[in-house]
Structure 1
Amino acid sequence: MIEFLLNGQPRRCEATPDTSVLELLRDTLGQTGTKEGCATGDCGACTVAIGERDDQGTLRYQAANACITPAHQLNGRALVTVEGLARGDALHPAQAAMVACHASQCGFCTPGIVMSLFTLHEEQQRAPAPLTAARLEATLGGNLCRCTGYRPIRDAAMTMGDYPDPAVRVWEPSAPEGNSVKEGEKPESARPAFPSKESGFIQPASLEALIAERRAHPEAPLVAGGTDLWLEVTQRLARFPRVVDLTRVPALQHIEPTTLDDGRQGWWIGGAVTYARLEPLLAEHYPAFEHLLHRLGSAQVRNRGTLGGNIANASPIGDTPPVLLALGSRLWLAGPGDGEGGSGEEVVERELPLDEFFLDYKRTELRPGEVIRAIFLPHPQPERELRIWKLSKRREDDISAVLGAFTWRLDDGVMRDVRLAFGGMAATPKRALAAEAALEGHAPTPAAFAAARPALETDFQPMSDVRGSADYRRLSAANLLERLRLVVSQRDQLDNNSHGSREVMLHAYAH
């Protein structure tokens, strides 16, 4: 049984474990304003807003792709769809602005665009800030429209503030009814740890309960954001009789400062922490990493996708693992105490360098029943540089053909602690150890990088697929290495003179 608020009204629904929010809306509840476009989380036609209360008790809405969001994750939360915005004939500012700016033509994508603008408007009401080009790009980057050319949609976004907010916010919770979610409560506190074991969708409320479930049903897939797992349902028509949800486990939701045994300082990032929650930390300490997230996926994806999921998925073209490999990250794993030195009902935890985690294509060091509890992100060192470059067919919301992440430091003009990591070049995200060795201890001269190029050839045997041939990937990786040489050489020159810096290649982004 799923209990949630739909446009401010309590709802109770039955659903199978593999039901999406979109299916629940259209097939069960008859709410057909939300459209299905791609069913992969790319087009944004199915965008809805999901509300949760923050630590201050404020209900905050985030855009999500309904087609790949598990319906049971609505339990104890608030859902707003395009049907719930207007108050009679009084349109929501997002709707009024879209009408006034003639921003809808065929109309199929319009509900999703309106909902993305709704979440932007709600955030503006909570924390007013300039609507910059970068912010609009981040808000609307996950909504595709073939008719309008986007200009009138942008105009609508810029003029939303000119229209009055409805006096009655019909999507907000109404008076509590029965044992439904109560206004003022954190939604999670109104729900039991397991909404319905009979439903097959299990929502543990503690790490111990999660590991107990993994011990009993190690075959059941784990879901956090669902941005990859739910494609098995929508594209391959898979059916999951049992699913384990990670989003209600507090131990997987923390971002905590820490100091490792080797003295390195940093943060443990919980395995179910979303990219959206991680962005402020990266923006402050790793701007290049934060910038990458805007090419990793849309706002809808970043609101739901998790760092732990990107790692556990073990895709050779996952965007974050190469960066974490370059930074020297570690994993904190937790699993059942059966075997491997444990016994009984205990939870066994261990740490592992990320370098040792990926074994082969989609194969990792995770033992049966283990989960990624947290990822160690080291604190940046002022003397170390980080560069991340992603090659993909589209700028927005696309999978990498090749991604390179590079860290190093210059010590008296010599490169030290060189770490070069790539995605898309092997069966797993992988460091280029031979190329690293060729550069370690050398000045960033053309000769040193010329020696690193054949070493790079020995590091990888890339495959050919729809995103690029093996030859393209080898050439691209070598070109990224050359780009690194230009950046390091320039940096070395800046350390010895007062000339300004200029980026080797212009960013694709306008900002």
Structure 2
Amino acid sequence: METQTIRFFHRGQVKEVSDAPITRTVLQYLREDARCTGTKEGCAEGDCGACTVVIGELQDGGDVEFKAVNACIQFLPTLDGKALITVEDLRQADGNLHPVQEAMVECHGSQCGFCTPGFVMSLWALYQQHTPGGAAPSRQTICDALTGNLCRCTGYRPIIDAGERMMALPAPSADKLDPRQIADTLRNLKRGETFRYRAQGQEFLAPRTAAEFGAIKAAQPDIRILAGSTDVGLWVTKQFRELGNLLYVGQVEDLNQVEQRDGMIEVGAAVTLEKAYAALNAAHPELEELWKRFASLPIRNAGTLGGNIANGSPIGDSMPALIALGAEVVLQHGETRRTLPLEDLYLAYQKTAMQPGEFVAALRVPVAGPQHFRTYKLSKRFDEDISAVCAAFGITVQDGIVTQARIAFGGMAATPKRAAATEAALTGQPWNEATARAGMAALAQDYTPLTDMRATASYRSRGAANLLYRFWLETNADALPAAAVNVRAPGAGINETATA
């Protein structure tokens, strides 16, 4: 089959690209080819947010979903069939600034200006989710939307103020970004077959069905699978690796579904982290802090839960919680599927139980969790930071006795790993302080952590033990209220609670 061109909506028209390398980033295209230099390059790894743009994707209901992503690690062929919105698009047809831009000016939210376009695009994506003149997003919602924009020359407050102010300003009278027009364009761009793009001896394949995806992977076991590019993108921008042909999961419709049946939540491999966590949090609200602290919103908008699982990073934050919940991973080869416990997927550092030609098709998480379930993350920065330790605890207590325990940690071993000795120390014992301390001591049998730039081995060991103690404080018969053990809860403390 002949190569196809990359087609996407940008600057009010359909763009077609036919000669760019398959790993050319969206940022490189914007700055060097399209000459749209408002989008900046800072870190080239999806951390700083200077390169933030908004991607529009057609949904099943016919509407367009807008989401902020990092242009520096997104490969250009992944734009096929989508809309690309950049800061150049925001100025109105009559020359006026968009309310998001005007709010940044009014609130003095910009200083040197280098990072400002990224902030503006994150706020514009948030703006699309609210009605101008209506209720403004809460300050926490604004903060969540800006977790991927790290440079704050002017400080946090003026930019957050702009996020509130933008909704009070008059709606654009001559907005060039009409979602209905964009939706019509994207419907015309939608492909019914596998998208095949070739350039400079490499091929980018984007199947539409899991059957097609499985057939290609089975025929080419060594082909590199690409999902959200939040990890693979760095192999190009930081390590300058040649990736060979790419098999893109992002257009596989039947892998981009979340379904609940037989007491399990099944999350397809193409479902973004943001949507996956939203679905899982509905059943397990204890996941909310981990969800909001997992990377940044632009990373969660692009990355997939399936990719995070397949990557098997020892510091991947999702795996400890999922293992503690008893999750299963669905692996597919061709059209044949098999299921195994998630903890059995990881054999050694960067080594999994997947066979050649096999891929992660879905994750299955029980709807009913343990009686007591918590997740905790230790990192140097609260938002958008890699964990030093990520912990998940799940226990069931009957008549004061621990009848079941599932405990898993990330950052403590070469793989995400269950704490077998600690679980054994808790199971069958009364859920009291002595048992908790016995479990804390048993952690030394389960893990021998390393020292690296994020934490020393002794810090990790002590932190992991203290997290188990905190779990006991929150779940024993005389448990402290959540605010008393949360240093970020405003105005809360043990003494304050006791006298309330």
TM over 0.5: yes
**1:274 CA displacement:** 0.7
Aligned to 2:248: 245
Q: Does 1:196 align with 2:197?
A: yes
Judged with a 3 Å threshold, the aligned counterparts in structure 2 of structure 1 residues 167 and 12 are, in CA distance, closer, same or farther, namely: same
Q: 2:305 aligns with which of 304, 307, 315?
A: 307
Q: Does 1:6 align with 2:29?
A: no
Q: Does 1:269 align with 2:267?
A: yes
Aligned to 1:122: 128
Give distance in 1, aligned partners of 2:430 and 2:127: 51
SS where residue 216 of structure 2 aligns? Answer: helix
Give distance in 2, aligned partners of 1:295 and 1:129: 25
Structure 2 residue runs of 5 or longer lacking an equivalent are: 492-500
**1:147 CA displacement:** 1.4
**1:151 CA displacement:** 1.6
SS where residue 395 of structure 2 aligns? Answer: strand
Q: Equivalent residues in 2 for 1:30-49 (5 A)?
A: 30-49=35-54
Q: 1:412 aligns with which of 399, 403, 426?
A: 399
CA contact (8 A) 2:58 2:183 kept: no
CA contact (8 A) 2:328 2:341 kept: yes
CA contact (8 A) 1:93 1:163 kept: yes
Aligned to 1:384: 371
Aligned to 1:426: 413
Aligned to 1:254: 257
SS where residue 121 of structure 2 aligns? Answer: helix
**1:197 CA displacement:** 4.6
Q: 1:81-113 CA distances to partner (integer Å, 9 max, x unpaired)?
A: 000111242111101111112211100001001
SS where residue 238 of structure 1 aligns? Answer: coil
Letter of the aligned partner of 2:425 in structure 1? A
Letter of the aligned partner of 1:311 in structure 2? I
Moved more, 187-196 or 286-295: 187-196
Moved more, 83-92 or 114-123: 83-92
TM-score (normalizing by structure 2): 0.92
**1:295 CA displacement:** 0.7
**1:54 CA displacement:** 1.9
**Equivalenced residues, count:** 483
Give distance in 2, aligned partners of 1:17 and 1:196: 8
Q: 1:46-99 CA distances to partner (integer Å, 9 max, x unpaired)?
A: 000100122221122110010111211110111110001112421111011111
Give distance in 2, aligned partners of 1:126 and 1:349: 47
Moved more, 427-436 or 291-300: 291-300
Q: 1:315-357 CA distances to partner (integer Å, 9 max, x unpaired)?
A: 1000000001100110111013xxxxxxxxxx22111111211
Give distance in 1, aligned partners of 2:52 and 2:74: 10
Give distance in 2, aligned partners of 1:507 and 1:311: 30
Letter of the aligned partner of 1:249 in structure 2? V
CA contact (8 A) 1:8 1:78 kept: no
CA-atom RMSD in angstroms: 2.1
Q: Equivalent residues in 2 for 1:170-185 (5 A)?
A: 170-172=176-178, 183=184
Letter of the aligned partner of 1:64 in structure 2? V
Aligned to 2:156: 150
Aligned to 1:370: 358
CA contact (8 A) 1:131 1:158 kept: yes
Aligned to 1:70: 75
**1:414 CA displacement:** 0.9
TM-score (normalizing by structure 1): 0.90
Give distance in 2, aligned partners of 1:48 and 1:157: 17
Q: 1:267-305 CA distances to partner (integer Å, 9 max, x unpaired)?
A: 111011112212432332212213211111111011111
SS where residue 202 of structure 1 aligns? Answer: strand
Moved more, 145-154 or 37-46: 145-154
Aligned to 1:159: 165
SS where residue 166 of structure 2 aligns? Answer: helix
SS where residue 196 of structure 1 aligns? Answer: strand
Give distance in 1, aligned partners of 2:186 and 2:132: 19
Give distance in 2, aligned partners of 1:466 and 1:480: 21
Aligned to 2:59: 54
CA contact (8 A) 1:51 1:79 kept: yes
Structure 1 residue runs of 5 or longer lacking an equivalent are: 176-180, 260-264, 337-346, 495-499
Judged with a 3 Å threshold, the aligned counterparts in structure 2 of structure 1 residues 24 and 81 are, in CA distance, closer, same or farther, namely: same
CA contact (8 A) 2:474 2:481 kept: no
Judged with a 3 Å threshold, the aligned counterparts in structure 2 of structure 1 residues 184 and 78 are, in CA distance, closer, same or farther, namely: closer
SS where residue 405 of structure 2 aligns? Answer: strand
CA contact (8 A) 1:8 1:173 kept: no
Give distance in 2, aligned partners of 1:271 and 1:311: 9
Q: 1:451-510 CA distances to partner (integer Å, 9 max, x unpaired)?
A: 223321111111111111111111111111221222232xx236xxxxx83445215376
Judged with a 3 Å threshold, the aligned counterparts in structure 2 of structure 1 residues 150 and 23 are, in CA distance, closer, same or farther, namely: same
Judged with a 3 Å threshold, the aligned counterparts in structure 2 of structure 1 residues 127 and 50 are, in CA distance, closer, same or farther, namely: farther
Judged with a 3 Å threshold, the aligned counterparts in structure 2 of structure 1 residues 488 and 206 are, in CA distance, closer, same or farther, namely: same
**1:126 CA displacement:** 9.0
Judged with a 3 Å threshold, the aligned counterparts in structure 2 of structure 1 residues 79 and 362 are, in CA distance, closer, same or farther, namely: same
Aligned to 1:497: none
Aligned to 1:401: 388
Give distance in 2, aligned partners of 1:272 and 1:38: 26
Aligned to 2:327: 329
**1:402 CA displacement:** 0.4
**1:130 CA displacement:** 4.2
Q: Does 1:485 align with 2:465?
A: no
